[in-house]
Amino acid sequence: MQFTFSHSEIHVFDLEKSLKFYEEALGLKEVRRKVAGDDSFILAFLSDGLTTHRLELTWMKDRDKPYDLGENETHLAFMVDDYAAAHAKHEAMDCIVYENKNMGIYFIADPDGYWLEVVPDRTKTRP
């Protein structure tokens, strides 16, 4: 038996704002959408165009306030081939919330406050 990753899901308060952020900040594009028959929710699946893993954004129609993320100890991580360019882009977007220069990583926050880790592609620098 073999298990493989399919997708990760997060709830978002403003779907359009989130879709715009994920495309601008990380280049993710919507590839599939499911709208509930009663319009009570929308699932938008985003892709990096390279892997089969998807990020599912769930929007709930009756949600009237942003989500409480607690201590925000959970995050998604994205590997990037040009770390310096990504850092400059996110700095210009003013979405960097934490940086660990010793580890060579940083975190950005999406419109709902979810933290997203950005790491360099170290597979190209390993011996």
Q: Which residues contact 111 (CB under 8 A, 6 or more apart)?
A: 12, 13, 14, 17, 18, 21
DSSP 104: T
Distance CA 19, CA 34 (A): 15
* Active site positions, annotated: 117
